[in-house]
Amino acid sequence: MASMPETLRAAVVQLHCTADAGANLDAADQFVRAAAADGAELVLLPEKWTVLGTPEAMAAGAQTLAGPAVSWARAIAAELGIDLIAGSFVQRLDGQAKTVNTSLHVGPDGEIRATYRKLHMFDADVDGDAYRESDREQAGDEVVLTTTGHGARRLGMSICYDLRFPELYRALVGRGAEILTVPAAFTLATTRDHWEPLLRARAIEDQCFVLAANQIGEYMPGYRCGGRSMIVDPWGVVLATAGDKPSVAVAELDFARLAEVRRQVPALANRRGAELYSRPAGREYEVKR
């Protein structure tokens, strides 16, 4: 039996998407082709690359799995022979009032290998702007691990706000994840202050490669995403970062390096059992004065 290749060339695509679905698709096509031309075998698009705008625009732009976005993703993955994590798109489900935020893994054969729906809804107030995803979207209910067509590497899926919930990534690495994907539309403020620390923390604590593709620029008046799409190695080192515009960042994922990190600091092997953390708290000690 042939051994798995020790490296995989990966790319993250940073886009400036708006409510113009046609322009978004054209940009995605351009940058995915550029990534593949640079040798990328695994390509990640950002969150809501099909349509990003007002709640009304996103509802109007929602698609099904039979829609043009998924048809394009399947066709280009097969044409270029790549694993494509098609960021996320606003999916319309029959009989459901709310949409879902769906990420797809399309294999080099053009077949859908995995479907992940965002678990955590972004209901927050940032820099005076209100975000209430749960008003129009319903959360997923499944942790999703998939396997790449190139190198049979195990990949854990997530979307944007999920990044703030480390228990999701610990569940993924517990299932064998070696790569974690984070398509996002992080706000300008949270990109500035939280994005890189969170990505590096997930890479370090789970000893995985992290691929993070963010949106950049204003997508409706007063609402901006911060870019800084990046690829991080299991030691927490940033291997590649996109520029301050729509662009592609590419890096080699070296799985011998991943194995070395897990040997050097065997934190995953040294974990205590989950039952320890679910026990009731021990007795409290009174502070004597």
List the domains of the chain with CATH numbers: 7-266 (3.60.110.10)
Q: Percent of the chain scored above 70 by pLDDT?
A: 96
| First-last CA distance in the chain | 69
Residue 21, both tokens: 């679905």
CA–CA gap between residue 33 and residue 95 (Å, rounded): 36
pLDDT value at residue 176: 97
Cβ–Cβ < 8 Å for 144, 113:
no
Q: Percent of the chain scored above 90 by pLDDT?
A: 86
Q: Is the pLDDT of residue 131 over 90?
A: no
Active site residues: 47, 118, 160
pLDDT tens-place string over residues 188-207: 999 999 999 999 999 999 99
Q: Is the pLDDT of residue 2 over 60?
A: no
pTM of the model: 0.94
Residues 6+ apart with CB under 8 A from 38: 9, 11, 248, 250
pLDDT value at residue 1: 45
For the residues 108-117, what does the mean pLDDT come to? 98
pLDDT value at residue 279: 80
